[in-house]
Structure 1
């Protein structure tokens, strides 16, 4: 009797395990199908994501203007124009001082190259000018042999720049419409959905919007910390173009990995050509320390508090996103993980507690913005 009962329990456990495995497999297949569809539609999805992130950044000002009596279209127009002016001013703040000191920087580059040649000619390398000239001729020959691939790369680069411009313009127009019509989106969405979905989907969308806002604000705070710390180090070392470099550091913080590498490279190069090798190495050390603090302290702590994610989850999400889809994956990994957590927490609440009335006072925003 006992053996029969144990056998029955074993079969029931196996059936339950098989059912759960089948359900998980269906979920994975559905997730793979959704990712495949998103990949096919990426030329539309990517501008939409950028527009949503920009909308979270500019919505507080739009909300303020609307509460002061401005019409939605006028408030969205004012904020969009201000955003363009700020973006243009940021570029000018970086480009104009660099252009004004371009002659001095060019002379510094020439002097730096000469110093490197003198250092290479001495011990322990003892490389004479003939060897340097031979290496230069070899490099030129390789470049000439690779002219075809270089031309292809150049064409690809031009295509990428053009695609980036199109994405930026489309994202800007989408941001304007989100700012103008966002508050009407969630009520409209609720009317299109049947049954309980009319309550659940808008509620989840409102929470997701709050989470995206927290992500953008935390990223801006991390970029500000980077800019202040690195700018302070450059100012102490009397490196020129401190303000443009600090602004570049802040802006590049929104582009993971590549942004930090680019801003750091520019700062080290300017320190090298203006202050010499010693100060350039000090600047490099400062940047490495700050970047390590950002990646392992600032970003995990700030984002974990703002997004409700543990610092380890933030680190793992960035690592996984970067390994799967590169820079874009690193950029979107944290907000995607936070949105998944939002959906999971909502489902857990609904399964564990009686349904509550939907929110009516918070931001049902962005693509469905607050009123």
Structure 2
């Protein structure tokens, strides 16, 4: 009874500890994912430059990643700043045209009677605007938490990639030599699974960006390249990224023209179905070596259980489980013939008049065969 009570208390303490540090555990899980994805790149740099130390190779890889992200931000920031300046200069004229019912915005407001609604509900709109302070504060807090999380994950990933060989060797040193070699091979296969997932995700995002660019270009939507680049990057975010990119592209298309907006909405509805049920299973079946049905089931279950984080880790975790199960099955099949082999026995005379039996060895069986011959 005391043991049962003690185990129950330990379980409660562990659950409470996990709930208290849930955010940190999530950051560590994401950092572990990026570590498994980036460690092969650092190893490749070290193989190409044998004199390069682990610290320098890790620094080069992470600096390259920062440069890529900085370049993408510059690609977005420069056109947005230019267009924002033009919009600020044209805003007074646009407002005057809208009030007079001129221009596309004025015609839209006139057809929907939006100006009459605004004039009749000025007090209600003012109260609604005053109540936006708390959501705005929560949004700022969320942004600050996101920045802290990104920096923490970056530092954890950098340190984990830097110390990866020592961590692996130290862990394997605790195991017997035979088991250490086996688990080293399993670990390599798991890392290949994560790398394959990242590669497959990049391929899908490139396909999404290219198709979006073609559709936007066909309907003459301005800034088609910039919007397609945003859609491709957003598609890397699991669960919500594709929807976010579709919303931005559809808004830009509706501003250009209503038919273009309707066409973009139809395109994204169809493409999402094709990507979720055809493209993702096929690509991940090639890169992660997972059955298409397993890919769909893993994404659905993980998304339902853990949301965005589950969608991010669903396919790598499913691939790792598959690697471990294959290794266990292979190991059991290799041991099965040895364990099921019949054992012969020989009669040994221990004392005069008394005999005993024991398993015969291979040498004794060979000697017996030569004697009988």
> Shared fold by TM > 0.5?
yes
C-alpha displacement of 1:135: 5.0
- Select the residue among 244, 247, 251 that pairs with 2:229: 247
> Structure 1 residues 137 and 260 mapped into 2: Cα distance closer, same or farther (>3 Å)?
farther
Give the structure 1 partner of residue 208 of structure 2.
226
Contact 1:53 1:216 in 2 (8 A): no
For the pair 1:280 / 2:272, whether they are aligned, the reply is no
| Cα contact 1:112–1:272 (8 A) shared by 2 | no
Of the three residues 132, 153, 172, the one matched with 1:190 is 172
Residues 104 and 238 (structure 1), Cα distance of their counterparts in 2 relative to 1, 3 Å cut: farther
Question: Any idea what the Cα deviations from partners look like across 1:237-266, whole Å, max 9, x if unmatched?
Answer: 222222222221222122123111111111
1:115 corresponds in structure 2 to: 107
- Displacement of 1:33 in angstroms is 11
Q: 1:64 aligns with which of 44, 62, 67?
A: 44
Cα pair 1:211 1:307 within 8 Å, conserved: yes
- What TM-score comes out, normalization by structure 1 length? 0.74
- In the alignment, the residues of structure 1 paired with residue 325 and residue 134 of structure 2 have an alpha-carbon distance, to the nearest angstrom, of 46
Distance 1:347 1:100, change over 3 A: same
Structure 2 residue 242 is the aligned partner of structure 1 residue 260? yes
Specify which of 35, 57, 64 is matched with residue 75 of structure 1: 57
**Larger deviation, residues 188-197 vs 203-212:** 188-197
- Alignment partners' CA distance in 2, 1:83 and 1:327: 23
In 2, Cα distance between the equivalents of 1:56 and 1:234? 36
Corresponding position: 1:175 with 2:157: yes
Give distance in 2, aligned partners of 1:224 and 1:231: 11
Is the Cα–Cα contact under 8 Å of residues 58 and 158 in structure 2 kept in the other structure? yes
- Tell me the alpha carbon deviations over residues 63-122 of structure 1, each in whole angstroms, 9 at most, x when there is no partner: 33212232211111111111111111111112221221235567689755433323325x
Q: Deviations over 1:295-326 (max 9, x none)?
A: 11111111123222221221222222222222
Q: Distance in 1 between matches of 2:308 and 2:16?
A: 19
- Distance of aligned partners of 1:156 and 1:300 in 2 relative to their CA distance in 1, 3 Å threshold: same
Q: Residue 10 of structure 1 corresponds to which residue in structure 2?
A: none
TM-score in terms of structure 2 length:
0.74
Q: Which runs of 5+ in 2 are unaligned?
A: 1-10, 337-373
Partner of 2:344: none
User: Are residues 231 and 187 of structure 1, via their aligned partners in 2, closer, same or farther at CA, if it must alter by over 3 Å?
Assistant: same
Which consecutive residues of structure 1, in runs of 5 or more, have no partner in the other structure?
1-30, 122-127, 356-371
Bigger-Rg structure (1/2):
2
Structure 1 residues 117 and 87: alpha-carbon distance in aligned structure 2, compared to 1, 3 A threshold: same
For these two proteins, the number of residue pairs brought into alignment is 315
SS in structure 2 of the partner of residue 353 of structure 1: helix
Structure 1 residues 315 and 159, CA gap change in structure 2 (3 angstroms): same
- Give secondary structure in 1 for the equivalent of 2:163: helix
The structure-2 alpha-carbon separation of the partners of 1:65 and 1:203, relative to structure 1 and needing over 3 Å to count, comes to: closer
Q: Tell me the C-alpha RMSD between the 2 structures.
A: 3.1
How many angstroms does 1:283 deviate by?
Answer: 1.8
After alignment, is 128-137 or 201-210 more displaced? Answer: 128-137
* C-alpha spacing 1:35/1:229, structure 2 compared with 1 (3 Å): farther
1:185-206 deviation digits (Å, cap 9, x = unpaired): 3222111235765344433322
1:39-188 mapped onto 2 (5 Å cutoff): 40-67=20-47, 68-69=49-50, 70-102=52-84, 113-121=105-113, 129-134=115-120, 137-144=123-130, 147=131, 150-188=132-170
Alpha-carbon contact 2:200-2:284 (below 8 Å) kept: yes
Preserved CA contact (<8 Å) 1:234 1:242: yes
The 1-side partners of 2:295 and 2:13 are apart by: 25
Judge conservation of contact 1:212–1:335 (CA < 8 Å) in 2: yes
